[in-house]
A and B are shown apart, each in its own frame.
Chain A
């Protein structure tokens, strides 16, 4: 790995740590949901980075599907948290 890839991995590791801390400690449920959503976005970027690292475009499909479907899952969870308030 060259310097750019190493620094990208380091930054993503830091971001994952921050999101994980918020997910474990977050005082309310919306905090935890937003932290989980942040983690999914970081993961999408990480999957793209792995595609670059392995020099294979096959892994880009995984990132695409992940990015699209985590949106649906998070919207469903957000609807669940909304309750019966209209």
Chain B
């Protein structure tokens, strides 16, 4: 009975939303803010990827808030899982193929992650995606050899320093220009690696922070005690 009511409710909600969506314009968004940003973003920030300039320049404070939310989530998960880090019986090692494959993939994943971070202002990608790839890169060898553990002190240092670097760049812009996280250091030539001023530095800080947080989270999840069914 309860299931039937829920299904009816969900179907009704879907129908209602569909009726609302039928009034939305498709293919011709009333993009006033977007149009303005598209016109002046390359001249203002010097980044070829306009999404990057929205994320880091027009909405940089928002990104700082997102970083703190992610930090709170990772810290909360680590706190919840914390007391059970010691395991009585660790998982067995993976087979030869998994260990050799993980060792082969590790440098490739590292290079791909750094490429995505450093080219965040030119091609799709950036700090968040590159951080995820870095976390996956550091987790893959751990999947083959579960007995080894990541160095939690180093991870916390990297995370703290990267967060401090993000805020320091923002404060520098605040004192030099009067706006928090305003673009600095000149714009350079559109489409080259060393362009867009401080945006690549900010994305590098974001990438290191996200990567450190997520790999610490993955290591915490992997190190909690396995439970037999």
Direct A–B contact in complex, judged by CB atoms less than 8 Å apart:
yes
Interface residues of A (CB under 8 A from B): 58, 61-62, 64-65, 68-69, 71-72, 75-76, 79, 84-86
Give how many A-B residue pairs fall within 8 Å (CB-CB).
40
**Contact across chains for B123 and A61 when beta carbons are under 8 A apart:** yes
Give the A-binding residues of B (Cβ under 8 A).
91-94, 98, 105, 108-109, 112, 116, 123-125, 129, 132-133, 136, 139-140, 143, 226, 228
Bound state CA distance, A68 and B107, in angstroms? Answer: 12
| Residue pair A72, B124 in contact (C-beta under 8 Å) | no
Residues of A within 8 A of B112 (CB): 64-65, 68
- A62 adjacent to B108 (CB under 8 Å): no
Point out the residues of chain B lying under 8 angstroms from A68, CB to CB: 108-109, 112, 133
Overall SS of chain A's interface:
helix
- Residues of chain B within 8 A of A75, CB atoms compared: 98, 140, 143
Show 20 A/B contacts (Cβ-Cβ < 8 Å), sorted by A: A65-B112, A65-B116, A65-B125, A65-B133, A68-B108, A68-B112, A68-B133, A69-B133, A71-B105, A72-B109, A72-B139, A75-B98, A75-B140, A75-B143, A79-B98, A84-B91, A84-B92, A84-B228, A85-B92, A86-B92
Return chain B residues, CB-CB under 8 Å to A85: 92
Q: What 8 A-B pairs come out closest when comparing CB atoms?
A: A86-B92, A72-B136, A61-B124, A61-B123, A79-B143, A58-B124, A72-B140, A68-B112
